[in-house]
Structure 1
C-alpha cells in the first residue's frame, strides 16, 4: 500500500491517510462547516471496513495490527487506522465520538505498533525500506495527530493507549535525531515530524536536527520546482512539510518556496483538473492524478495571503476531485479552524499561455480547452489533452543500431517554434592495434574505444512543434543514413474510440494511420490527427522502447523521413 496515497475506496481510505502534525489545540468553539461534516461522515462510513484487515490470531506476532491489500501486517496500515479512529473519537459529530469499543481497537493496534518498531526507533516500509528514518517520519504524520486527538477525545480508560503512543513517539524521536535519508523530500518530512514532536515533548536535539537539515537550503529552482519534480507525490508533501515547520518554529521565510511552487503549479494543470506528471523523476512519472493533494496548501496560503488565484485553484480542485479524495486531509482542517473560513474572491487562473520551464525541461502550452506539454530528456516528448480525450505520449524511433529511440536533451525556442533534436552515430570497428592485442584473445580486454572506426553511419532527428489554429503542428525530419525503418507513435489514454485508422494485423491495441486523417473520441471530446503515413507495418523496432499498454496509432516509413502531423 502506498504510504502517501489517499485511496478512495474501502478500508484503504484510512490505511494510507496522509496526515501531518498540527498545533496543539483545544475544544472547538466555532461550528464546523457543512463540507467538513461530510468529510467526517465519510470516515464514519469506512469504520466497518477495518475489521477484515485486522490480525486477530492471538498467536500471531502482530496481533492487533492491520494488513495491507496483500495481507501483510504493516505499520503504515496500522498507523492509518489508529489516526482515523482517534480523530473520530474526538469529533462530537462522529458516530464514534468517545467510543470505548473503538478505543479497545486502538489500544491493541498501539501495542502492535511497538512490535513493528525496532530498538533504534525506526520502522520498515516493507515494499522497499528497512530500519527507515524517513518512513518513521511519515508514520509520525499519523501517530502525532492520533495522540493529540485521543487526548482531546477524553475517553475514559484511554490512559494506557496514550502511554503506548507516547512511547512510540519518543522512540521515534531518537531515530529522527540521528537517522539518514534517501531523497530530498525526506529532509523536510523528517523535519516536519520533529517539529511536531518538539511541540509535544520539547527537546533541543529535535530543533538542532531540523536546523541541520535546513542549513542545506530548500531545493527549489528558478522555475519554482523542487528537485524531484514530483507533481503527483512529493511536491505537495514538501509544501505541507514546509508549512508545518514554518508554523511550528516561527520561520515564515519557509513559506516563500511554498508560494513559489504553488504559483508555478498553476501552469501544470490540465483543463480537466489533472496535473502534469511527465517531467517527474520519481515513481509518479506519467501517472494520472488530480490536484486534491494540493488542496490544503492552496487553502492555507489563499487565506494567509488573501490570494484570489490560490482561492480559485481551491475551487477548481473542489470541482475536479471527489469528496473522498479531499476528505483524506480531514485532520488538517480539524486542527485548524482558521481553514474553515470562506475563501477570498477568485481571481482568474491562467488558461491561455505558452510558457517554458527550462530548469524542469518543460514547455507548457494551453489554449483554454486544450493543452500540451513538451518535454526534454524524455522519449515521450509530447502530450496533448483536449478535455478527456488524451494523447498521453508521442514517440518516434528508428531501427538505427539499436539506439534510435528519440529524445532531446533540450527544448530550443526559435520564434514561435519549439525545437527538439538529436544526433546519432553508428560506427563499425577495425582491428585493434597490434601492440594492444592480448594473448588470451579476451574481447573485453581489447575495448572498442581503442579501435579505429569506419563506415560511420549518421542519424539526425529534428522535431519542430508550433501552434496552428486550435491545435499543434509537429514537423519531423529524420535524415542521414537512408532506408532506416521508422515508427512514429501516437499513444492515447484508454477509454475512447477511433475512426479513420486501420487495425494492425498482428498487434493488439495497435492501429495504422493509412488514411488522410484519424480521430480519437472520449464522450464528447475528440482529438483529430492527420495526415497518415504507413509504408510498412513494423511497429516494434529493435532498440525502441516497448509498446505501452494503451491504444496506439502508428505512422511508419523509412529515412529520409519527413512528415508533418497536425493535432486538433
Structure 2
C-alpha cells in the first residue's frame, strides 16, 4: 500500500467521524473544522474518483458543509472563534484551506465540483478585503495571513503586496532554526507550512531554508517516543506533547530532495492518526510528488547528540538510550509575571534511560509565594549546564515626611509580588533573598545535579515526576505520591531502569509539596503535574546532590 493510500484510508475514517456524523441541523462546528471537512471531501474525491463517482453523497455533504461555513462568515467577511471576534488571522486558517481546495478543484477538472468551487470562491472574495486590511496579535499570524493572501492573489493584485509587507518584517527565527514563539505546535501547523507556500508563490528560496533549519532543530528535540520537546515554548504546548508526525510531510519534502537527516525523521514519523492524515492528504493532492516513496537510507544519523540551544536556554545531551534535557530559558524571572505568550514552565530537567523516564524536576521553596525555581538563564561551560536564580521579597520602611499625604491616599503601585496603595517606590526597604545555583553534569550513563542555596533559612521540596513503571525504595504516602525510604530509589519499566540517588535524607518530618506560586493560587489555578511523583525535602542554606543514572 502506498503512502497516499494509507493517508486516504485514515482520512476516510476522519470524514466519517466528522462531516457525516454531524447533520446540517446540528450546532455548527468552528469555521476551521468546517473548511477542513470540505477540503477533505475534495481531496478524497480526487484520489479515489471511483468512490466519488459511485457514491456522490460525499460531494452533496461537502456542499452542505460549505453552506454552513458561509453562514458563519460575518458581514465584514471574517470569522470568529474562541473569543477572537471578527479575526483576520483566525479567518486566514480557513482561507488557506479554501485557497488550496480551489487549486485542487481547478487541477482536477471535474465538472461535478463546479458548484462547490463557486461557493468557496464567494467565501474567499468576501474575506479578502478584510485580510488585505486586517491585523494580527501573534508572530505566526503574519505568515498565516500572508499565505492566505497569496493563495487568493488571482482575485486582487494587492494580495501579494500585502503579503510582502508582512514578510518585510523578517522571519522571527533564531540561529538554531527556532521561531520566537518556540512552539512546536505553531511551527508544525502554521509557520512552516505558511512559509513554504510563500516561498513557492513569491520565489523565496530563503524561506525554504528557514523551514529546513527548523526541521533539523525539531529532530534534535525529539525523544525516543517520537515526541518533540516543548518545555521552552511560549505557547499553550509548553505543558503538552507534540508528535514528530506533525512535521512528517515537511520532513518528507526535504527527504525526497536528498536530505538524509530529514529522511531519517520522515522514516519514523508517518502520521497514524486520522487528523494528521487529513492534513497530509491535502498536501499530497496539491503536490503529488510528496506521495513518492521515501528513498532508502544509506545510514542513520548519529544517535549521540550534545546540542545547546542558547536562544531558548536549552541543552540536549543524548548518548545511546540515555537522554538529558536541561532547561533554563524561562521568561518569568525577566518580566516578573506569569502570562500568555511567556515561557513559564518550571521544569528544569528531564531524563530517560530507554523506556524508564523522569518526566520533570521542579524545585519549590517556602518563599513569599514567589513560586518554584525558574532559572534566569542557562550557561554551558566545559560540559556543565549552570542555572541561577535570585528570588527576593521586600519589607518596606516608613515613608519619608516629604511623601506623606494628609488623607493617607498613596499611589497604587506594584511591588513585584502584589499591588497596594503604598507608594512602594518612595520607601526604603529591606530584602530577604534566596539565591539558588544548579550545576547539571550530564554523562553517557546518567546526570548529576548539584543544588546550592544561599540566603534565607527556609524549606524546599524537589518534585521528581516519574514516568510509567514500578517504583522501589520509596513509600507511597498518598495516591501517586512517593517519599524515599533511603538515599536510593529505582524506577523500572521493562528491561530499563533509572536509579535515583541523593545526598538528602529521607526527611520524614517534612512532607513534600509543589507550590505553583501566588500567580496561580490567588486565582484558584495551578500548573501542577499529575501522575506519580517522588518528593525530596530539605532546608536552606546548603548544598545537596541528586544523581539519575541508568541501572
Matched, 1:512 2:483: yes
Map 1:178-217 to 2 at 5 A. 178-198=133-153, 201-217=154-170
The 8 Å contact of residues 14 and 275 in structure 2, kept in 1 or not, is answered as: no
Report the counterpart of residue 10 of structure 1 in structure 2. Answer: none
Farther-moved stretch of structure 1 (152-161 vs 398-407): 152-161
Report the counterpart of residue 533 of structure 2 in structure 1. Answer: 552
Specify whether residues 253 and 414 from structure 1 end up closer, same or farther in structure 2 by C-alpha distance, changes over 3 A only: closer
Report the counterpart of residue 117 of structure 1 in structure 2. Answer: 73
How far off its partner does 1:326 sit?
Answer: 5.1
Q: What's the C-alpha RMSD, in Å, of the aligned pairs?
A: 2.4
Q: Distance in 1 between matches of 2:470 and 2:385?
A: 30
How far off its partner does 1:496 sit?
Answer: 3.0
Farther-moved stretch of structure 1 (418-427 vs 238-247): 418-427
3-state SS in 2 of match to 1:354: strand
Specify whether residues 327 and 273 from structure 1 end up closer, same or farther in structure 2 by C-alpha distance, changes over 3 A only: same
Specify whether residues 108 and 501 from structure 1 end up closer, same or farther in structure 2 by C-alpha distance, changes over 3 A only: same
Specify whether residues 155 and 93 from structure 1 end up closer, same or farther in structure 2 by C-alpha distance, changes over 3 A only: closer
The 8 Å contact of residues 90 and 152 in structure 1, kept in 2 or not, is answered as: no
Pick the aligned partner of 1:161 from 104, 112, 116: 116
Map 1:402-417 to 2 at 5 A. 402-403=369-370, 405-417=372-384
Q: Distance in 1 between matches of 2:200 and 2:421?
A: 61
Matched, 1:419 2:419: no
3-state SS in 2 of match to 1:301: helix
Q: Distance in 1 between matches of 2:515 and 2:226?
A: 37
| Deviations 1:83-141 (CA, angstroms, capped at 9, x unpaired) | 1112222223663347422222122222222111112211112x231111111111023
Map 1:186-335 to 2 at 5 A. 186-198=141-153, 201-304=154-257, 306-318=258-270, 321-322=271-272, 324=274, 327-328=277-278, 329-335=280-286
Matched, 1:461 2:426: no
How far off its partner does 1:180 sit?
Answer: 0.8
| Deviations 1:320-360 (CA, angstroms, capped at 9, x unpaired) | x5264652311111222222334344343242122211111
Q: Distance in 2 between matches of 1:498 and 1:93?
A: 55
Q: Distance in 2 between matches of 1:323 and 1:50?
A: 14
TM-score, normalising length: structure 2 = 0.86
Report the counterpart of residue 452 of structure 1 in structure 2. Answer: 428
Q: Distance in 2 between matches of 1:267 and 1:88?
A: 34
Q: Which runs of 5+ in 1 are unaligned?
A: 1-32, 58-65
Specify whether residues 394 and 470 from structure 1 end up closer, same or farther in structure 2 by C-alpha distance, changes over 3 A only: same
TM-score, normalising length: structure 1 = 0.84
Specify whether residues 332 and 404 from structure 1 end up closer, same or farther in structure 2 by C-alpha distance, changes over 3 A only: closer
The 8 Å contact of residues 14 and 274 in structure 2, kept in 1 or not, is answered as: no
3-state SS in 2 of match to 1:103: helix
3-state SS in 1 of match to 2:51: coil
Specify whether residues 156 and 297 from structure 1 end up closer, same or farther in structure 2 by C-alpha distance, changes over 3 A only: closer
The 8 Å contact of residues 97 and 153 in structure 1, kept in 2 or not, is answered as: no
Report the counterpart of residue 340 of structure 1 in structure 2. Answer: 291
Tell me the number of residue pairs that the alignment of Structure 1 and Structure 2 aligns.
513
Report the counterpart of residue 544 of structure 2 in structure 1. Answer: 563
Specify whether residues 361 and 55 from structure 1 end up closer, same or farther in structure 2 by C-alpha distance, changes over 3 A only: same
How far off its partner does 1:403 sit?
Answer: 2.2
Specify whether residues 410 and 350 from structure 1 end up closer, same or farther in structure 2 by C-alpha distance, changes over 3 A only: farther
Specify whether residues 468 and 210 from structure 1 end up closer, same or farther in structure 2 by C-alpha distance, changes over 3 A only: closer
Map 1:380-395 to 2 at 5 A. 380-395=347-362
Specify whether residues 450 and 123 from structure 1 end up closer, same or farther in structure 2 by C-alpha distance, changes over 3 A only: same
Q: Distance in 1 between matches of 2:105 and 2:207?
A: 30
Report the counterpart of residue 142 of structure 1 in structure 2. Answer: 97
Specify whether residues 315 and 217 from structure 1 end up closer, same or farther in structure 2 by C-alpha distance, changes over 3 A only: same
Larger strand proportion, structure 1 or 2? Answer: 2
How far off its partner does 1:51 sit?
Answer: 5.8
Report the counterpart of residue 37 of structure 1 in structure 2. Answer: 5
Q: Distance in 2 between matches of 1:523 and 1:96?
A: 48
